Amino acid sequence: MFDTMTLTKITAALCGALLIFLMGSWVAETVYHGGGGHGHHAEVVYPPEAEGTDDAIAEEETVDFAEILAAADVSKGEKVFKKCSACHKLGEGENGTGPALYGVVGRAASASDGFAYSGAFAEVGTWTPEALQAFLEAPKKYAPGTKMAFNGLKKIQDRANVIAYIDSLDD
C-alpha cells in the first residue's frame, strides 16, 4: 500500500514537472514569435534572409531531380508505366484515352496529332523532364482542368523511372 502511494506521488511529481516544462516552452515561444507589434517588426527586419532560404531550397530540388533522373532505372520505369497504360500507348502517334506518349520527353505539350486535348497544357510549353515530373506528381494541380484522370505518382523515384523509360524508347 505504502509502495503504491510512493509510486503514485513520484509519477504525479514527474507529470507535473513535464507539464510545467511544456507550458514554459509554450510561453517562451509565444513571447518570442507572438505579440503583433514584435511579429511585424521581425518581418520587416528579416525578409531578405527568408527569401534567400526559399531560393536555395528551390534550387536544391531542381538539382536533386536531375540527379535522380540520371540514376533512374528504365526497367523499373517500365513497371511504373503499367499505371499509365490503361490510357496511354507508346507506339508513334498512337492515341488512346490519352495522347500518344512516344517521344513526349522534350516534345511540345498538346502536340500529338489527332488527339482532342482539353487545353489545360496551354502554359506548359515543352515537356522537359522537370515539367513532366511536376505534372506527374499532381496532374490536376499542375494543369488545372486537365482531363487526365490520374492521381499522380507520389514517389519522386517512380516519376524519374517512368520518365527515363518513356525517354528511352525514341532514340
- Interacting residues toward ligand HEC by CB under 6 A: 83-84, 86-88, 97-99, 101, 104, 109-112, 117-118, 120-121, 127, 132, 136, 146-150, 153, 162
Query: Measured from the CB atom, is 69 or 132 closer to ligand HEC?
Result: 132
Residue 118 CB, shortest distance to ligand HEC, in Å, is: 3
- In the complex, the smallest distance separating the C-beta of residue 156 from ligand HEC, rounded to whole angstroms, is 13
Nearer to ligand HEC, 22 or 149 (CB): 149
Cα gap 152→131, rounded to integer Å? 14
Cα 8 to Cα 1: distance, rounded to the nearest angstrom: 11
Q: Contact at 8 Å (CB) between 150 and 139?
A: yes
Closest CA to 88 of 78, 75, 97: 97
The least distance separating ligand HEC from the CB of residue 35, rounded to whole angstroms, comes to 48
For residue 69, what is its C-alpha cell? 533522373
Please give the residue whose beta carbon sits closest to ligand HEC in the complex. 84
Residue 66 CB, nearest approach to ligand HEC (Å):
18
